[in-house]
Structure 1
Amino acid sequence: MGKSLHIQGLKGTKFSQQLRGVNLEQVLIVAIDAAKLHQKALICNYFGDILAKPFFFSVNQSGMQTLYHAIEQAVASTGAVRLFLGIEATGHYYEDIVREMAKQGYLVQILNAYTTFEERASALNWCKTDDLDLVAIAHALKSNKATEFRLAEGLQRQLHVLTRARRSEIRKRSTLRMEI
């Protein structure tokens, strides 16, 4: 079984260490649903009590300030000592949010889109709405189902950007060839 003495291995050990000895009323969960145009967030405590109803924000300076302000208000009103933030990996839309929040000192955990789907399915709810996704993301964070994945930086990030741009240009070229 390895060296870890937790059923979830090292990941479970880290998670339990963050929660051990903490009043769970002072643990906040921030679920973020990234999209092309309209990002949405939900803030709740560990028990699922909603502290900030789902709200929209933009990935620009004022939108991110709205998100930070909502988080700071929730932390102040509950005296929170632990904060779990999570976002579903959707295309590349989530990357800017994660990077901007990292600049402010927040650690955002990344969830696989399939995890969100499974959380909705476990509740016997196969509808897909932003609010249901936020609830699924929050539940997945509470259950420690986020990945240890980190975003690419430096040369690796530049390679990702160039690869996306190349793919786009190839699609355009193929379309033109088909039209000709």
Structure 2
Amino acid sequence: MKKRNIYQNQSQEIVNLFETAGSNEKVMCVPMDYAKNDHLVMFCNGHGDILRKPFSVKNTPEGIAYIDDQVMRSCRRRGIKKEHVFFGGEDTNSFAKNFVSTLRSKGFLVANVNAHDAKKQRESVQASTDRIDLMGIAALLLNCRGNCCPAQSGTYRNLRLLVRHRRKLVQMLTEVKNRVHGIVDELFPGFLKEQNTGIVAFTESSLYLMEDR
């Protein structure tokens, strides 16, 4: 029997981060609402207590340097280690990929949260308008819901595209087979049933016999 876990949708990387920190007060979560020009960012601890209210960060190298500096200042003030800091936002758009990649290159854990899940979280969060998106993202991150795959490009991206393409091809093949089944059953009832003919449907022999002669 396949094993199941009620926490199967949680990120093991974030779970491990909380465990190694030893206390939720020693964890810093940095939810980000990505935008083309200015990201909206907030600091909170593992309990969800807001350490710094939402503020804007430029989507530039200077913005990365600024957020890095502000995070480390806040960590020193509260005795939080860098390895117990993690960032997160909705699935990264093209305009935020460089920003996220640079954060990862600096040694920070960055998670992507599902946009649909974030939307559901926003519907249940009581907050002012400018905080709703961040609160929804923060709620998912603090529940360890996120994809921390270090690369959403290159080999990982190619594999994902190939899997999606294969899934579409299988779906198209199934649709074609269903149409052929309908036509053959109308013209030669039972021909595609192996127990009737001894021929496996859609094998080379089966296709040969169905060729237009």
| TM-score of Structure 1 vs Structure 2, range by shorter chain | 0.7 to 0.9
Gaps of 5+ in 1: 161-180
Aligned to 1:25: 25
**1:111 paired to 2:113:** yes
Aligned to 2:152: 151
Q: Which has the higher contact order (CA 8 A, sep 6+)?
A: 1
Instruction: Give the residue type in structure 2 aligned to 1:17.
Output: N
SS at match of 2:44: strand
Aligned to 1:68: 68
Work out which of the two has the higher radius of gyration on C-alpha atoms and give 1 or 2.
2
**Cα separation, partners in 2 of 1:119 and 1:11, compared to 1, 3 Å:** closer
Aligned to 2:136: 136
Gaps of 5+ in 2: 162-213
Aligned to 1:165: none
**1:54 paired to 2:39:** no
Instruction: Give the residue type in structure 1 aligned to 2:75.
Output: V
Distance in 1, matches of 2:152 and 2:70, equals: 25
Number of residues paired by the alignment?
A: 155
| Paired residues of 2:33 and 2:134 also in contact (CA < 8 A) | yes
Distance in 2, matches of 1:14 and 1:103, equals: 16
CA RMSD of aligned residues (A): 2.8
Per the TM alignment, residue 130 of structure 1 is displaced from its structure 2 partner at its CA by 4.5
SS at match of 2:35: coil
Distance in 2, matches of 1:155 and 1:85, equals: 20
Aligned to 2:100: 98
Residue-by-residue CA offset, 1:115-167 (whole Å, 9 max, x unaligned):
21011112377x8x44211111111100112124441037968xx9xxxxxxx
Of the candidates 99, 105, 120, which is equivalent to residue 122 of structure 2? 120
Aligned to 2:8: 9
Per the TM alignment, residue 11 of structure 1 is displaced from its structure 2 partner at its CA by 4.2
Q: With structure 1 as the length reference, what TM-score do the two structures score? A: 0.73
SS at match of 1:105: coil
